[in-house]
Amino acid sequence: MATPTHVIRVPRPEPGAFNPHRPLKKNALLLHQVRHFKKIERRLPKHQKTGIPLGAIRTEAQAAEYLRKMMAVLHPQTAAAGRSEPLP
């Protein structure tokens, strides 16, 4: 099969776009996602709880770390592998 000849250039975001310290309260979607995980966590046995109180999750980075810990419990099939490579 031939390769495409119409190649479109896609720019990358400007340096500085990465903002893991963005306040969680600025993203209603992520805030609710964390709350959903908290509801699930309440049903977990004590040894599987993260010990992270909801009030301690204030930034995207903290939310991501909390989700990572919860996924290690809920979806151990893939949680251990994580993701090591950024997109091309």
Partner 1 sequence: MPAGLDNLKHIVVLMMENRSFDHMLGGLKALDSRINGLTGAETNPDTNGEPAPVLPNAAFQSQLDPDPDHHFAAVDKQIFDGASSRVPSMQGFVKSYWDQRRDVTHSRKIMYYFAPDSLPVLTSLARSFAVFNGWFSSIPGPTICNRAFAHYGTSFGSVTMDPFVVRPPYLSVYDRLLNGGRTTKLYYFDPASSTMEVVNLLSRQPAVFGTFDQFLEDCGRGTLPDYSFIEPNYTDHEAEDGAELLASDQHPDHNVQQGEIFIASVYSAIQQNPNLWTSTALLIVYDEHGGIYDHVPPPACTPDGCAAPASATGTGAPFQFDRLGVRVPAILVSPWIARATVVAGPEDPVNGRAFEHASIPATVTEHFLGAFENRSPREKAAPTFLSLLGDTLRPMSDIPAFHID
Tokens of 25: 């309260």
Strand partners, 23: 59
Is the CB of residue 20 less than 8 Å from the CB of residue 61? yes
> Does 56 sit near partner 1 (CB under 8 A)?
no
Q: Which of 34, 24, 30, 32 is nearest to 58 (CA)?
A: 24
Closer of 14 and 53 to partner 1 (Cβ)? 14
Residue 17 binding partner 1, by CB under 8 A: yes
Query: Among all chains, which residue has been given the structure tokens 């040894």?
Result: 47
Contact residue for partner 1 among 48, 54, 58, 78 (CB under 8 A): 78
Interface ranges with partner 1 (CB under 8 A):
1-14, 17-20, 22, 26-30, 32-33, 36-37, 39-40, 60-61, 63-65, 67-68, 70-72, 74-75, 77-79, 81-88
